[in-house]
Structure 1
């Protein structure tokens, strides 16, 4: 189901009930920009902190334009998962002095057009949101009783005219009409809040409240003597306003409260954008970022990382094409996993997606992530027990618990980001040390070009005539060392800090000079003594 500004509040109660009843939730997001170009190339040298520092400045300019959530509920009697899929269209908002901004890259626009992205829904029907930092700022204004004044101060001229027209209508009604009540149709929730306040200030004798059954209408009573007349407490008006401007952020708060497992695929960038968009500006420290994400979303599974680990249990002929979400989903949904031919749960969508136009659509991809998680969990649980049989979500979650909060890292020095604790040590081989035997200044591009034909590598300069090489596997290391064993162009050895770091070189030569100086001093003293003895 598509959720926009027009139906979000109407569907919020249903979505809330579904989340509370769920066993886990599939997640996916589409972004306003893609990380492309040499600057954002992922390298085998990167630690997770390096990767975070690389992304955080660019990510602060990006937003999630779509968020997909597929809410999985388990029907025990039928041994069936029922999936309720939602695609939320999001759009930044202006509220008082909060003016959210983002960038759209031309390459991203081209990509989105290719996949039939609906820009009208994004711009005209996108659901607003606030980060926790922005929400706290507004809550403080409410506490200080400065919200109304701040909103008035930042009004555009067109909105000022609209408010003036409404107040003129109320003035004419009070003078010329004998009706006890009047209605003002105000669709914009921010203007509605302002109009409540403005009418109460200008016409102290009247009372205002939101009309029952139609939240767009402001009901105005002539005075308190009219039967049923009441004035909505300011706290209620403020709560109604917050519900509208918080928008999708209410879903994030619900996920935090309910602590439901969130299932995504390749979620490193997703977590960075989740922080920037719904928690607050990205912190300088990588450790602070991890802690903040873990506090809001305490249980996350990344099916890309899980599939990387579990593929080692398959032979080459049994394996999926790649670890992309589409290939992984089709491997399981088309029954290609021979280990899962019997006893697996039925997975049923409550409302079918349009499969032909679905990939790279957030709702569909969130369904695929959850689907793969169920199959991977079933496979892992059966492997643990030694028998392939029907299993429920509790056993599947338990089997995948060792992979909880481990977020896949693409082409980095470390296999995953651990949101719940310290990151693991590097799983890559030690660096290789390259010294040019012919060039006075080493050509790193040339070295990379030569080595890429042997295996997956990254190269970076280390000195005028030297470079470091990061490799993906020990197999590649051995091939490179063997290939360049007798090379007259490059000398390649395994890197050691003691032999190859600039500091150790300084220490080595400094020590050599000191040692040499001491030897010369001793020789000089010895010769002096000999001369004195002969003279005597």
Structure 2
């Protein structure tokens, strides 16, 4: 189901109920930009802190345009998982001194067009949102009684004319008629809050309240003390305003409060954006970022990382062709996993997906992530049991506990981000050091081209005539060392910080000089004694 600002309030209660009943939540997001170019290239040299530092300076102008949530409930009587999917359309908002911004890369526009992204739905119907930091700013202004003044001061000409028009209608009604009440039809929730306050300020003897039959209408009474009517309390007006401004952030808070496991696929960038968009600006320190995410969502699973580890249990002929989400989903949904041909739980959707549903649509991808999570968990549980049989959600999730809070890292020195502790050590082979023998200035691009046939490798400059090589596997590193053992162009050896770094060489030379000086001193002293 697609959720926009037009139907959000209508479905909020159902979403809340579905969330309470579900056993875990499939998650996916679509963005306004793709991180391309040399700056964002995934390098085998990178540890996770380096990768995070690169991202945090770039994602400030990126936003999630869609968030997909699929809530998986388990029907014990039928032994069936029931999936309820939602696609939330988001759009940044301008309010007071909050003016959210973003960028659209041309390459991203092309990608989104290829996948039939609805730009009108994004701009006209997208849900607003606030980060916790932005929410605190608005609530502080409400508490200090400065918000209305700030809004009045920062209202643009169009909105100012609208406010003036509403007040003119009230003035004419008071002057030219004897009617006891009138209605103002104010569709925009922010404008409704402004009009309530402006009318009360300009006409202190009237009473304003929200119409019971239509939340978009403001009911104005001529007599402030009219019997049977009460002015809408300021606290209610403020809370209505806050609920509108929070928009999709309310769903994020419900997810956090539920403590339900969040399941995504390859979600490193997703959680970085999740922090920036719904918690606040990305912190300076990587460790703080991890803590903030874990505090909000204590149970996160990444099916990209889980499938990478689980694939080690399969033979070459059994394994999926890749663990990209589409390939992984089709591997399980088409019954290609021989280990799960008997006794698997049926997974059904509570509402059929749109016939045009496709990958890279957040709702569908969130469903696929949850689907793969169930199948991977079933497989892991049966491996633990030693036999294949039906498995419930408790055992499924328990069997995947070793993978909890471990987020896949694409082509880096570290295999995953650990959200609840120190990251693991590098799983790559030791770096190689290359020295050019034939050229005075080393050509990194040329070396990378020469080494391309040895598998996945990265090369970076290390000096005027030297560079470092990071290989994807030990076999690749060994083949490189063997091939260039007697090369007249390049001398390649295993990197040694003492031997190859400037600081290391200085330490060695300093040690040698110190040792030499000490030997000379002792010899001199011995000679003097003999004399």
Structures share fold, TM-score greater than 0.5: yes
Matched with 2:275 is 275
Matched, 1:119 2:119: yes
Give the superposition deviation at 1:116. 0.4
1:278-327 per-residue CA deviation (whole Å, 9 max, x = no partner) reads 00001110011111111111111000000000000001111111110000
1:225 and 1:148 mapped to 2: Cα distance? 24
1:406–1:416 Cα contact (<8 Å) kept: yes
**How do 1:72-151 and structure 2 match up within 5 A?**
72-151=72-151
1:73–1:81 Cα contact (<8 Å) kept: yes
2:520 and 2:243 mapped to 1: Cα distance? 84
**How do 1:470-489 and structure 2 match up within 5 A?**
470-489=470-489
1:438-485 per-residue CA deviation (whole Å, 9 max, x = no partner) reads 222221111111112111111111222221111111111111111112
Give the superposition deviation at 1:360. 0.6
Deviates more, 1:439-448 or 1:191-200: 439-448
> Aligned with 2:149: secondary structure?
helix
1:444–1:467 Cα contact (<8 Å) kept: yes
Matched with 1:343 is 343
Give the superposition deviation at 1:204. 1.1
2:130–2:245 Cα contact (<8 Å) kept: yes
**How do 1:59-78 and structure 2 match up within 5 A?**
59-78=59-78
Give the superposition deviation at 1:513. 2.7
1:299 and 1:103 mapped to 2: Cα distance? 31
Matched, 1:300 2:300: yes
**How do 1:437-456 and structure 2 match up within 5 A?**
437-456=437-456
1:115–1:357 Cα contact (<8 Å) kept: no
Deviates more, 1:422-431 or 1:404-413: 422-431
TM-score when normalising by structure 1: 0.97
2:498–2:508 Cα contact (<8 Å) kept: no
1:132 and 1:212 mapped to 2: Cα distance? 31
Matched, 1:376 2:376: yes
Matched, 1:333 2:333: yes
2:377–2:397 Cα contact (<8 Å) kept: yes
Give the superposition deviation at 1:213. 2.7
1:180–1:226 Cα contact (<8 Å) kept: no
Deviates more, 1:504-513 or 1:115-124: 504-513
1:70–1:83 Cα contact (<8 Å) kept: yes
**How do 1:93-492 and structure 2 match up within 5 A?**
93-354=93-354, 356-492=356-492
1:186–1:217 Cα contact (<8 Å) kept: yes
Unmatched tracts of structure 1, length 5 or more: none
> Aligned with 1:60: secondary structure?
helix
Unmatched tracts of structure 2, length 5 or more: none
TM-score when normalising by structure 2: 0.98
Deviates more, 1:467-476 or 1:246-255: 467-476
1:224-260 per-residue CA deviation (whole Å, 9 max, x = no partner) reads 4433211010000000011111000000000110111
1:210–1:219 Cα contact (<8 Å) kept: yes
Deviates more, 1:63-72 or 1:217-226: 217-226
1:118 and 1:89 mapped to 2: Cα distance? 10
Give the superposition deviation at 1:275. 0.4
Give the superposition deviation at 1:525. 6.8
Aligned length, in residue pairs: 531
Matched with 1:22 is 22
